[in-house]
Structure 1
Amino acid sequence: MRPARALIDLQALRDNYRLARELSCARALAVIKADAYGHGAVRCAQALQQDADGFAVACIEEALELRAAGIQGPILLLEGFFEASELALIVEHRLWTVVHSLWQLEAIEQASLGRPIQVWLKLDSGMHRVGLPPRDYAAAFNRLKASGKASEVVMMSHFARADEPGSPASLDQVAVFKAATEGLQAPVSLRNSPAVLGWPQVPSDWVRPGIMLYGATPFDAPQANAAQLKPVMSLESKVICVQQLEAGEPVGYGAAFITDKPMRVGVVAMGYADGYPRHAPTGTPVMVAGQRSRLLGRVSMDMLCIDLTDVPAAQVGSPVELWGRQVLASDVASAAGTIPYQIFCNLRRVPLVYQG
């Protein structure tokens, strides 16, 4: 009966996927790791399976959940496998795997697979997280080809700063990639969400849209292509109490906000236990009764307070949007000193209600 919920607009999800493919003129793996960034991996995959060229998840547990739900399309393991024993499951469930380390290549060479698997061979082009160093890449590629155990090899890397349009770092990484793969013939996958939106000159036969699928921009500033995205999640609740306070009264834990005039304060059934960021400060935007307002004081575990002084129509039971179509998740994240990726992934306890 608690009114907190997250509405998930599946048509918006499909529209954002189609935009990614339209902007990139390439095949696109829908990245639905981390339970589709908090949006529900199975339902999102089901909504996309008629459109998507494939899916990408972090690990085999996430892939097997999709297969158990009847998802039949390609599924790429972005972190690859963690133990050689996983290769049997990769073969059985027709999964694709990233190879980012020499030990994984050696495990494939030594395994009795039964049939070849598709491998996405990852280059560390400058992010220095995972990936083969440039000096080892061509030899690893040729070993995979010679092994007879790779049905296809896709050459991939990942950008560290594609969300910074003015930074030369992404083009520097492209140059490293081109040098390391010179003379190798295989499909290429370089572009993630910010690169799909903001780096059209980067070559990619496959793209990997993630955050853009869910309608949030990866950029700190307005960007033309990102402006076309449609928010997928609307985090909603209701006002459950209204307080009329005089000037000088504290609101919430720690008296973090003190009224500077007579104010109407609304209490909303939403807190950090639901995934709303605890460090969102006073002034973080909310929508109440169709009118823009602001957060007041500290976010509690189950409740938060908002300013109703200039929203006379707001009463107990009035609807509140914490983020969604009217209050962008990126604006809430920015106010809280974080990113929309995190606030989506932190969502919990609230039921997901699917539409479209």
Structure 2
Amino acid sequence: MSCLRTANGFKKFVSASFVIFALSEAVRAQDFGYEGRSGPAHWGEEYARCTGKHQSPININHVSVKQYSFPKLEFHNFNVEPKSMLVTNNGHTVLVKMSFNKGKAPRVKGGPLAEKSSVGYQFEQFHFHWGENDTIGSEDMIDNHAYPAELHVVLRNLEYPSFASALGKDHGIAVMAFFFQISSSSTGGYTNFTSMLPQIERKGQSVNMTKTFPLRQYLSKDLGSYYTYTGSLTTPPCSEEVIWMDFRTPIDITEKQLNAFRLLTAHDDHLKNNFRPTQPLNDRPVYSIRQESPLFVDSSAGGSRHHFKTLFLVTLLAVLLSAANLNGA
């Protein structure tokens, strides 16, 4: 009997130890960083996809890119103001999620996305990468030139019901990438945005923006000129088959505003240099696109046009009926 109790106790000990070990391994596997043992050089030890042959970011050599003609890009609801905007320091980046009324979430169609989805790609979140000084920070590079920061707008193929289900699937995810350049003034809503960053100085802190702006206010002015290629997520799990669109016109930001990002912390150190080094291009083509201004379509604007058209038709019908009555008299 004593031996049985001892055996049962040993089994419980082993079971509990296994659970603790599994949990600790899960936590360890989910964590990553940008320096030392948790840095990009070691991501492949925990995330096998990070050693794939079609990884991002890359260096784009403008001499070797291919000219191509895609359908015009369509940006739907990019001028619609979100209901709410949550900004979080997750220890790796500044992550921004927006919520919208039903049917008003930003979507993108056309361009290199046209062949991959007939319904388009919907906005999921945007986040940032930056460096400790103005010579480094962006993930993709142009002719070996790095910008001081980069914005990633992450989109989900609407043929998949959720972001998780789209990960790693054939063209399930697309990323619109924008470089930042230092300027005397900033683009769109960044003055208000960066003034809120001290409220999320530490990892795990979040803040709801009291003054929200449409997604369009955080992007560069020219959305008709870009490079595109197929790559991966630039953070673990490094899922591939991601469609990238790197827009050529940078976003303007002031030195003071960019420094607000550099003052954020992860654990006990500053969150800085949160960019992955460029990866081998291997056999992938990179296309260069230059086209006329893309099409912007907003649900609210579409509703107004529909209302005006309906009102015009009703008025015209009333005039015709009135004329018919007069002729009859």
Q: Is TM more than 0.5 here? A: no
Identify the structure with bigger relative contact order (alpha carbons < 8 Å, sequence gap 6+).
2
Q: Larger radius of gyration, structure 1 or 2?
A: 2
TM-score range (shorter-chain normalised) is under 0.3
